[in-house]
Structure formats: C-alpha cells, structure tokens
Amino acid sequence: MVTSRRRPAHKAAPRPTAGSGERVWVLDVPHRTSAPGATWDRKLRSHLYLGRELPATLAPFAAKPYSYQQWVEDEVNGTPSPSAVAAPKAPRAEQLRAAQFIATAAHHKMRAAALFDDVGMGKTISAVLGAKSVLADRGGVSVLVIVDRPVAITIPSWRASIAAVGDGGYRWLICSPDQLKKLIAANGRPKFSFDVVIADEAQNFRHDSQRTTYMRRVTKMLAPPGKAPFLIAVTATPGHHPGEWRYLSSLFAQVHGESPAEWDDFGARLVQAGIPLERCFGKWQWSGEATGSPALQAKAVGAGRRWLTDHDPPLLLHRDSPWGPAPIDGLGVELTPAEQARYDLEWGEFRQEMGVARTGSDTARGLAALLRFRQKAGMIRVPYTVELAAAYVDRGYQVLIAAEMVTTAAGPLADALEERGIAVARIFGGRPDAEEQRLRFQRGHAPVCVFTTTTAISLHANEHLSDGTYASAAPRIGLFHQPRYSGIAARQTIGRAHRDHQVCPWFLLYSEGTVEERAAATMVQRLLVTAASVDGDTSTFDTIAELFGAQWLPSETLAAQALG
C-alpha cells in the first residue's frame, strides 16, 4: 500500500520588526518589476524593506501619501507618514456652502449626504472640506475616498486637492473601485473602519456588481446609522432614474424611518412607494407606462428627490453651473463618392449581420456587429476629424477629441495628428503616464488631447495646478469623434473642459446622409433639453439604438458597450 504524504505547508518568512530609528517600508512595486533588497510579505501582499531610510534603488517604490501602501505602512509602524504637499487653494463661496451642507447633515446624525452639483462646480474640494467638518464635529480620524478611473490621473488629482486645502491631520486613503477588494478580509468583512467615506462618481455603484458589493460592505450599508461611516456621495450624473440611486439606499431607509435591510432591494422598495419601475434582465428600469411618458418620469424623479431635498436638514444639494450649459452642435462631414460607397457597403453588411443575429436572438453576435460597424464608420471619418482639429490649432485653440474606441479611433487620430507635426496628449489605453499626458495638454505643450475617459479629469483653461501654476489660458474646443449613446457619458465628457467658469463649445461629427446624422441629431437635441438637469433619462439611448436597429438587444448590455 502506498501512503500518500501531504506536502508540508510553506511557512512565510517572519515580518521584519523595526528597531530603534528604523521603519518598515511598504513599497508599491509594479507587477514583474525587480526590487532588490526588498522582501515579499504574503499576508500583506506587498514588498517590504526594513531600515532607517530607503536606498536609492527602492526610493521610486516608496508609498505615496494617502495610498493603500502608506495606509498599511502606518498600521505596521504605528506612526504616520508625511502628508502630501501642494500649493494652497482658497475655496470658492459655492464650495464653502457645499461643505456646510455636508456638515449640517452629519451634525443631525444623518448617515449620508448627496452632493449632486453640476459638472465643474468644484465638488472635490467641497467634499474634502465637508469630510473634515464631519470629523471635527462627530469625532473620528479616517477618511476613505473612492475615485473613478483612470487612477493614474484621479488619485494624484484627489491627493493634490486634499493637500491644497489641508488634510487636517486626519488619515486619508484614496483608492479606485477596483482596489476596494484590498479592504475586504477573507471573511468578507472590512479590514478597516472608516469614519467618513467619499464616493466620487457615485453613479459607478448604481448597478449590482462585485465593486458595488465591496463598496456596500466598506460603507456598512446594512448597519444602523450610528455604526456606519458617514457617506458623501458625489456625482453630477446620479443615474437615469431613481432606481439607480442604490448607493443611497440606507439614507432613504433612514429618511423613511425603516431599517437598511428593507431598502437593500432598492428598486423593489421604490416600486412599493409608487415609483414606476420594473425589473428587466436583472436590473431596474422604467416601467412600460413610464417609458413612453416623460411627464410620468419627471414626476417620479421629483418624488424621489423631494424625499431628500425636503428633509430637515436637506440631504441632497444640486446647483446648475452659473456659467451655463456648454454650446453643442452637430457638424456634418461630406464623404467623397468612394467613401460614401464604402460606408453604404459597411451599412449593408451590418444590417444583414444584425438581421441574422436578431432572428436567432444572438445578443453577442448583435453587439459584435454593432461594434464593428461603429469602428469602421469612425475610421472613415478619421482624416476629417484630424483636418478640423489641425485647423482649430492654427487658430490658437487647444482641442479635445473625445473617442470611444482605442485601436480604430483614438490611436489613428493621435498618430495622424502627430504625422502632421502636431503634438498630442494621449489619455487612452490605460497608460501609466496619463497624468503626465494631461499636464502636457494643460500646460500647452501638446495642443491636442485625444481621450476616451469620460470622468474625473480636468482639461479646462486656467486650471489651478497642484504646483501653484495655472494651465494655459488658450480657449478650448471639443470634438466628439463618435456620438455617445449614453446621456450620462456624453454630459460627463462635455464637462472635462466646460467647467470652473470656463466655457468650451463642443461639436459632434457625423457623416452626412447616413444613420450617423440622425443619431447625432438625436443626441444633440436631447443634450440641449437636459443640459441643465441633474437627472438624465434613457430616451437618447433608446432612440439611437432604434436608429441602428439595435433596440432588440438588452439595454444594459448595449449601454455597457456604449460606455466601454
């Protein structure tokens, strides 16, 4: 008989213990990067170094202020690391008012506040000031800030904003939704307890997902108000309908005097309250009756908002930007006969493929067909977008080009512009130097910025930068190379440069005499109608999908493609 032997468990090396004058340094070492002299800690899943100072070879991997690595390093050593440093900024009057709104809600023992100001109103600094006021009033020392992607820009931006108005001596941790899993222990509970949580671009947590699950655990959504951190939900685009405000479910429960568990299935509880929603493909959307009635939608949105705005104290703050909505208009491209023939061929092939997919209810095939067509249609217009951008550069403008696809839009656009001798800042494709690229554009070293991200970056004129200098004063102009299906994404994109009292006109390019022209007209019309409204609706998306014969596809998967 052969007796199986269990291989002895591998024992992790003991964690180094700091002696007098020494420190355990928790390093941020990129994947597959050598860090000679550092040791790997399996439990912390980080490289460590023990010593009085970091050697020059490891200095580039030092934990940055307010990072997860610095947070863990402070936990291990029991002493704080240095705070971030940035040129000071004086908060504007509207930011001070927003901070007071947050502080008042917390003072009255509410569990959250919704800051839904328009794009460009300075919500970041408002939230930082509000968080400090909450800690000063209610006690506590720690703040978690959840930021949107791309983290190579959003994390440095938040770090600089916190430093610009002072961190108050509190502990701050900035992370992205994808990094939230690091804050969850093996038993599914949070590793750390935070006193305040700022959820920037809170609409990211409007649907069920792993990131939303982590966010709800970290914020202790199902705990009583007194045992949960105070949540500051920050967004200019809260959702298409009240059912997408799930990130505020516990606040709605508190307002109604009910337990958080009763509002955990947020959409179902709203239906009980008379909001016209229904579940479709696992997600809540407008009911059939409400879909065809903008008046009913507006009534339902108003009812949901009044639960928060009419509360004493108010729990939702929204203010339209005083500089008004961005000018936006369509701009047709006249294709050559050869290009029109090519477009018509691609359109015919798309209609045939979509028809086959629809007959077989093949969602994946239908989505793939739509994606291929949009890629090919966009490629046809690349030379025209490049020509227009170059013309605006010659007139003294700095140009933003918003694209959705990388390999068939953003990349070719940037390459073609650089071939003409025009420097381009590239914010697409998950570049690690995204912040350096942004600053090249902001300082005027690259007159054109091609980007795919829709949120959390600033590209406006005269931006007050973290080093105390200002971005170039050259006027900005924006070009949508491809129409956005999602009203939320389109509005957020416009707000990258039309912000902080800086006006940036936008143009939406399309091929004349094609389905793109109708799609562009629909998008512009709906954006003009809803530009000053904090609440979007799905009518733009639904109408454009119908133009492409894609209305049969599940709306949430089609929207995911449009947002991707």
DSSP 389-443: HHHHHHTT-EEEEE-S-IIIIIHHHHHHHHHTT--EEEE-S--TTHHHHHHHHHT
CB 490 within 8 A of CB 506: no
Q: Is there a single domain that holds both residue 49 and residue 138?
A: no
User: Is-cis flag, bond preceding 313, omega within 30?
Assistant: yes
Predicted confidence at residue 474, as pLDDT, reads 92
State the DSSP H helix or E strand holding residue 330, giving kind and residue range, or none if neither: strand 328-333
Say which range, 106-110, 140-144, 260-264, 295-299, has the weakest mean pLDDT.
Answer: 295-299
Supply the CATH number for residue 559's domain. Answer: 3.40.50.300
Is 146 a member of any domain? yes
Q: pLDDT tens for residues 421-434?
A: 999 999 998 888 99
Residues 6+ apart with CB under 8 A from 118: 236, 318, 319, 320, 321, 495, 532, 534
Q: Is 344 helix (H, G, I), strand (E, B) or coil?
A: helix
Predicted confidence at residue 356, as pLDDT, reads 82
Domain boundary among 286, 317, 348: 317
Is 212 a member of any domain? yes
**Confidence bin at 119 (pLDDT 50/70/90):** confident
d(CA 56, CA 49): 12
d(CA 504, CA 405): 23
d(CA 249, CA 265): 9
pTM: 0.76
Is 85 a member of any domain? no
Q: Is there a single domain that holds both residue 103 and residue 150?
A: yes
Position with higher pLDDT, 339 vs 281: 339
Is 8 a member of any domain? no
Is pLDDT of 10 > 60? no
Domain boundary among 255, 289, 317: 317
Burial of 134 (0-12, 13-18, 19+ CB in 10 A): buried
| Phi-psi category of residue 498: left, alpha or beta, with phi > 0 → left and psi -120 to 50 → alpha | beta
Position with higher pLDDT, 243 vs 324: 243
Say which range, 240-244, 268-272, 381-385, 417-421, has the weakest mean pLDDT.
Answer: 240-244
- Residues of the chain with pLDDT > 70, as a percent, come to 89
Is pLDDT of 472 > 90? yes
Q: Is there a single domain that holds both residue 247 and residue 211?
A: yes
Q: pLDDT tens for residues 460-469?
A: 999 999 899 9
Position with higher pLDDT, 20 vs 56: 56
DSSP summary character for residue 63: P
CB 457 within 8 A of CB 496: yes
DSSP summary character for residue 211: H
Is pLDDT of 7 > 50? no
d(CA 368, CA 357): 10
Is 510 a member of any domain? yes
Q: Is 146 helix (H, G, I), strand (E, B) or coil?
A: strand
Q: Is there a single domain that holds both residue 121 and residue 167?
A: yes
User: What is the number of structural domains in the chain?
Assistant: 3
CB 527 within 8 A of CB 493: no
Predicted confidence at residue 2, as pLDDT, reads 38
Q: Is there a single domain that holds both residue 243 and residue 369?
A: no
Is 12 a member of any domain? no
d(CA 538, CA 240): 6
Is pLDDT of 158 > 90? yes
The angle formed by the CA atoms of residues 208, 209 and 210, to the nearest 5 degrees, is: 140
- Which residue type, as a one-letter code, is found at position 173? L
DSSP summary character for residue 248: G
Is 68 a member of any domain? no
Is pLDDT of 560 > 60? no
Q: Is there a single domain that holds both residue 41 and residue 136?
A: no
Predicted confidence at residue 404, as pLDDT, reads 87
Predicted confidence at residue 533, as pLDDT, reads 43
Domain of 45, in residue numbers? 23-62
Q: Is there a single domain that holds both residue 126 and residue 240?
A: yes
**Confidence bin at 12 (pLDDT 50/70/90):** very low
Domain boundary among 253, 288, 317: 317
Q: Is there a single domain that holds both residue 237 and residue 338?
A: no
Is pLDDT of 196 > 80? yes
Q: Is there a single domain that holds both residue 524 and residue 453?
A: yes
CB 25 within 8 A of CB 39: no
State the DSSP H helix or E strand holding residue 383, giving kind and residue range, or none if neither: helix 363-394
Position with higher pLDDT, 174 vs 376: 174
Predicted confidence at residue 118, as pLDDT, reads 85
CB 451 within 8 A of CB 427: yes
Is 11 a member of any domain? no
Q: Is there a single domain that holds both residue 275 and residue 372?
A: no
Q: Is there a single domain that holds both residue 354 and residue 499?
A: yes
State the DSSP H helix or E strand holding residue 510, giving kind and residue range, or none if neither: strand 506-511
Q: Is there a single domain that holds both residue 357 and residue 312?
A: no
**Confidence bin at 446 (pLDDT 50/70/90):** very high
d(CA 481, CA 413): 9
